[in-house]
Amino acid sequence: MMAEKREMSGGADEGNTGMRTAETLLRLVPMGLCIAALVVMLKNSQTNDFGSLSYSNLGAFRYLVHANGICAGYSLLSAVVAAVPRPSTMSRAWTFFLLDQILTYIILTAGAISTEVVYLAYMGDEAVTWSVACGSYGSFCRRAVAAIAVTFGVVFCYAVLSLISSYRLFSKYDAPVDHTAKGIELGGTTAYRG
């Protein structure tokens, strides 16, 4: 019995180390992507005969830069915490879960509103007399698109990280529905079964 448990725990330990490494890497990848998007957007400015345009002239792009900065910092910090081998506590799992969710929402909204601004800059909008800015600032728009594309890579990573951290958190809890289903089966008081 003890030997069995030890063997099982050895296997689980190896699997766990692998999972921990995978999670740490999955947290370092968005860090790299965030920094890339940040640098591309920060250096994004264009001056021509019509005037000059930089990322800081558009609120959405400022938000993108801030979101990527926060995300890069959090990714590094959480990668370090995730890399340390210690038993996961409830409060730690909740912290990871909530912060991962919030970061996913922040980076997703940053990508979404920047996409909308680039869309408006490329297409313009006649009804509200917004001109096609990318006609005059073509290379600015292309670099903005590149930064946004990289940001959506971060969004994908964080969607996966959210899944992992909710698995880590909620797998600690008992399933309420299945217990009832078993209880119904055993008690035989109700007729329905899926």
Q: Of 84-123, which residues contact a second copy (CB under 8 A)?
A: 85-89, 101, 105, 108-109, 112-113, 115-117, 119-121, 123
Cβ-count burial 124-149 (b if 16+ within 10 Å, e if not) = eeeeeeeeebbebbeebbebbbebbe
Smallest gap from residue 164 Cβ to a second copy (A): 10
173 binds a second copy (CB under 8 A): yes
167 binds a second copy (CB under 8 A): yes
Question: Under rule CB under 8 A, which residues in 38-67 are in contact with a second copy?
Answer: 51-54, 57-60
Classify residue 125 by its DSSP letter. Answer: B
- Which residue in 21, 48, 131, 139 binds a second copy (CB under 8 A)? 131
94 φψ region: left (φ > 0), alpha (ψ -120 to 50), beta (else): alpha
| Residue whose CB is less far from a second copy, 49 or 186 | 186
Residues sharing a CB contact under 8 Å with residue 122, sequence separation 6 or more, in sequence order: 132, 134, 141
